[in-house]
Amino acid sequence: MISSTTFAEQSYQFALASELAYLAPAQSAAGFKKMGFANTKFFDQDGSQAYVLHNKNDIVIVCRGTEPTAFKDIEADLRIRLVVPLSRHGLVHEGFSESVDDLWPDVVAYLSSIYQDQKIWCTGHSLGAAMATVMADRLNSDPSLPDVAALFTYGSPRVGNQEFVASITVTHYRWVNCADIVPRVPAYPYRHHGQLCYMNHWGNVREMTAVQQFKDRLRGFITGWKSGVAQYFTSHLIGHYSDNLSRYVSGVEREQTLF
């Protein structure tokens, strides 16, 4: 039962689920089974993809993130025009909303067929994080559908304007890994939703001010420049999120040196 685990354990498990979602369906299903979800359903419509996992206690919606070789994913990321969401509150990113549109009827129908008062959770990385945010908002905005217990996202871009994010009622933990550039796009008038959970340059979880975050990203840029690695992009990889959170669960931290 997910609700009986700690916040750190939940954060790691949802990061792991988001990482598994990038694998081929058979491999993903095997990984989800090890997590306690023998029942999995893969949805793929016009390149928009998500999994629904369920057992007697929990239902988890895992949206698959951007795949660099998938034109539909890249196109969705680039369609930044703001449109009216299904919930009718504020404005939302057109590409993210339409990616959810592709899956929504099938996901809702499947939820209706398996729902037996389980807790519902949403998660995803990158584009999948944005889609999971839109999905969670739609579920909580529709009184005929069950509410989401919590939303966990990793490396999420901004999803909508201020009115949209202010209208979202779901509890949202938004993980950001230091120099990851994706959470800093698109620009104004887009806004973030949820409680920021920050991993610093060394992969340790910290509460940091905006100034401290800026210094931390600068540290990542300098370190990457010295080593020839673009940390603004490598920090976005879901594997870094899950590795950092694995240490967070075990209470192990990396030593923090100047660089």
pLDDT confidence of residue 256: 86
Burial of 34 (0-12, 13-18, 19+ CB in 10 A): exposed
Task: Report phi then psi at 175, rounded to 5.
Answer: -85, 135
> Partners of 153 in the beta sheet?
124, 174
185 or 221, which is more confident? 185
User: Would you say residue 70 has pLDDT above 50?
Assistant: no
Look at residue 67 in the predicted model and tell me its pLDDT: 59
pLDDT digits (tens, 9 = 90+) for 228-239: 555 657 889 999
Residue 74 has pLDDT above 50, yes or no: no
What's the sign of the alpha-carbon dihedral 249, 250, 256, 259?
Answer: negative
Q: What is the pLDDT of residue 78?
A: 60
- Where in the chain are the domains? 2-250
Q: What amino acid is encoded at 90 in this protein?
A: G
Residue 11 near residue 175, CB atoms below 8 Å: yes
Residues whose CB falls within 8 Å of the CB of residue 40, separated by 6 or more in sequence, listed in order: 28, 29, 32, 33, 51, 52, 53
How would you classify residue 59: left for phi > 0, otherwise alpha for psi between -120 and 50, otherwise beta?
A: beta
Q: Which of 16-20, 100-104, 153-157, 224-228 has the lowest mean pLDDT?
A: 224-228
Instruction: Read off the pTM.
Output: 0.93
HEC string of 162-220 equals HHHHHHCCCCEEEEEECCCCHHHCCCCCCECCCEEEEECCCCCEECCCHHHHHHHHHHH
Q: How much of the chain exceeds pLDDT 90, in percent? A: 78
pLDDT at 35: 97
Q: Determine the average pLDDT of the residues in 215-230.
A: 68
CATH class of 2-250: alpha beta
pLDDT of 219 higher than 90: no
217 vs 124: which has the higher pLDDT: 124
| pLDDT at position 230 | 55
Mean pLDDT of 87-100: 93
Residue 101 or residue 212, greater confidence: 101
Confidence of residue 114 (pLDDT cuts 50, 70, 90): very high
